[in-house]
Amino acid sequence: MSLKAEQARPVGQLELDIGGEPLWLRGDHSVFWPARATLFVADTHFGKAGVFRRQGLGVPSGTTDADLARLGIALAETQARRLIVLGDFVHAPPAVDTPWLARFAAWRVRHADVEMIVTRGNHDRAERLPIDCDVRWHAGSLFEAPFVLRHEPEADARGPVLAGHVHPVVHLGAGRERLRVPVFWRHADGLMLPAFCSFAGGQRISPAEGDRVFVVGDDEVIEAAMG
């Protein structure tokens, strides 16, 4: 598969109709549903860098703070009234004294007017955070017509699925001049979101005929042409 980027849309967003509903794919890896004033993100993996550092790996600090700042900006720009995290909200169950947890609690207070829901992913092994942060946890899929909201991308007869889990990426270019970039993937069963976490790996995808791929880079979303 090769990809050729088409002309970029302005202001870092791209409108995509799914199930008769306009969604805005944003350059910060989020999706905004204007009809329900809802912002979707997937795979925030809060605390991931700290987990790696505790294992003795040289991983820089500050990624959680940076991601919380990005998320706050997204809420402000969209004026979203709801935030739905499509699984893997945390990377590992945090202890009550885990440093990032206090910073998240303070962030949550600043955005107390925004309802927050997490559809639990495979990393969300605890049923709730060890402190009260006004986050509603939902096991399994959540149906909000026309969408099925879940962590892992599986077909659902009720409607198109919005999911994460895979951290989809593609390779652009050829030879030494190759880039590995995150993407939104519109496939037959719905839409797969890129990981919101700034410290996340990715899995190279193989789109089928008729799928659409949207490259994310430099705070822009650009549809890519396959061929």
Read off the pTM: 0.88
Nearest Cα residue to 31 out of 9, 19, 44, 14: 14
Instruction: Give the pLDDT mean for 70-94.
Output: 90
Element (H, E) at 38: strand 38-41
Can you tell me which residue has the tokens 């309802």? 115
Domains of the chain: 3-226 (3.60.21)
What are 106-158's pLDDT values in tens digits? 999 999 999 999 999 886 766 667 677 889 999 889 999 999 999 999 999 99
What are 32-64's pLDDT values in tens digits? 999 999 999 999 988 765 554 454 444 555 578
Q: How far apart are CA 93 and CA 116, in angstroms?
A: 18
